[in-house]
């Protein structure tokens, strides 16, 4: 519990191992989340548009609204859960520096916007699909970089 007051991990090796394991599994979650979205929704603009809106000429059904809402709901929950853990460890490790504050805000905004943008694209149209792709990739990349940075600090300091 001394870490919660002093931020020193040298004397608490078990806490360092536990926090490293949590961050490692969050990094795995980020990788598998990208793979899951690529499989379920698609990887390019045309594939995602096909999933969201279907194609009457090729008899491809659009995604059902309840399926999309379930996907967005689970995305919001898991993103919030993983971002909360990752950023709280990052803030505790690096303090209130300006870079970590910007990184935390950016990752949270991108993470929440990613889930919502998919739902908005479903109702507004295909022109928002590239925006969703950019936001989705950006939040995963920034969260992964933050996670690797935290993991590096935990393991090698």
Token pair in block for residue 116: 């919502």
104 located within any domain: yes
31 located within any domain: yes
27 located within any domain: yes
Average pLDDT over the chain reads 87
Three-state SS sequence of 31-51: HHHHHHHHHHCCCCHHHHHHH
**29-61 pLDDT tens trace:** 999 999 999 999 988 898 888 888 887 787 878
13 located within any domain: no
Q: Which structural domain, as residue segments, surrounds residue 110? A: 23-156
12 located within any domain: no
| Total number of domains constituting the chain | 1
84 located within any domain: yes
**80-108 pLDDT tens trace:** 999 999 888 888 888 778 888 888 889 99
38 located within any domain: yes
93 located within any domain: yes
Q: Are 82 and 92 in contact (CB under 8 A)?
A: no
């Amino acid at each position: 519990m001394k870490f919660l007051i002093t931020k020193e991990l040298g004397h608490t090796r078990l806490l360092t191992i536990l926090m490293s394991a949590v961050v490692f599994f969050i990094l795995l979650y980020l990788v598998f989340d990208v793979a899951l979205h690529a499989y379920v929704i698609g990887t390019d603009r045309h594939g995602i548009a096909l999933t969201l809106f279907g194609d009457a000429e090729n008899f491809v059904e659009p995604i059902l609204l309840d399926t999309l809402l379930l996907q967005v709901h689970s995305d919001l929950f898991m993103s919030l859960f993983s971002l909360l853990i990752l950023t709280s460890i990052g803030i505790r490790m690096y303090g209130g520096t300006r870079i970590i504050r910007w990184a935390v805000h950016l990752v949270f905004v991108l993470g929440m916007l990613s889930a919502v943008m998919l739902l908005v694209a479903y109702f507004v149209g295909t022109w928002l699909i590239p925006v969703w792709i950019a936001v989705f990739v950006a939040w995963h990349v920034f969260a992964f970089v933050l996670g690797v940075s935290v993991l590096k600090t935990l393991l090698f300091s």
